Amino acid sequence: MDDSIKSAIFIDDRIPSLFSNDKDEEEICKPLYESFQSKSCSLDFFRFDKESWKSKEKLIFHRKDLLILDWELNESPDLPYESTLEIINTAVSTDNLHFVCIYSLEGNEIDRIFYKILAYYSGNSEGKDKELIDNLKEILEFNNIDSGKFLEKISSIIKEKTLKIETKKIGEKLKKTFEDECGDKRLYGIFRKFLSENSNKMKYCDELDKLGFTLNSRNDGLIY
């Protein structure tokens, strides 16, 4: 373990409460605690619930170097991962807390988790994005294109670009999709110009990424 990590906090909604007789159903607390102790690092546990978190968040992160966070905190299906992302945001805003480790019981979730975190910090706002999509639909439908089906197709391509999967080929894929579905190469240029005029530039995502976050929001449970 890195010498800069001397104190850690583990947050999960399924671990036993402190001083309770609850069973550790995931059987994770004891081996994790022993592992940290073997490296001369203290580890505290916090069983998450929204009410207690709000009142204790500053105390919980006090003098902690590392946060270990369960990605699947118990959430409303309408706003999945809301609390998880809020905790991450608090963590990155805490001066003394330099490391965050996210774990998922579902496995092989790196891309999905990374995409949600990028969306959370993208600066998207629901009202502005709805207006952007509505305007884009008007352009597509003016050119006799089924906007729903078309936007569904390009959303997966944009997601690949955001996650850096074959980035060099993304432009070619988008152009080909426009040509195949629209029958007009010029519409791709109009599309890019429209996005550039209606979106703000950011360090970690551009106007195309932001459109992808909005288009994928329902399927991926993204929140801003």
Domain limit, last residue, from 48, 76, 107? 107
For the whole model, what pTM was predicted? Answer: 0.80
Would you say residue 62 lies in a domain?
Answer: yes
Q: Please identify which residue in the block is written with the tokens 């019981």.
A: 105
Percent pLDDT > 70 in the chain is 82
For 111-138, write each residue's pLDDT tens digit. Answer: 989 999 998 888 766 556 677 788 888 8
Cα 24 from chain centroid (whole Å): 28
- Tell me: do 69 and 147 sit in the same domain: no
Residue 150 has pLDDT above 60, yes or no: yes
- Tell me: do 58 and 137 sit in the same domain: no
- Tell me: do 96 and 28 sit in the same domain: yes
3-state class percentages of the chain: helix first, strand second, coil last, to nearest 5 = 55, 10, 35
- Tell me: do 67 and 143 sit in the same domain: no
Domain limit, last residue, from 42, 72, 107? 107
User: Domain range spanning residue 174?
Assistant: 126-220
Single-letter code of the amino acid located at 172 = E
Q: Using CA atoms in the order 29, 31, 34, 38, what is the torsion angle rounded to 10 degrees?
A: -140
CATH of the domain at 44: 3.40.50.2300
For 171-214, write each residue's pLDDT tens digit. Answer: 888 888 888 887 777 888 888 887 777 665 544 567 788 888 88
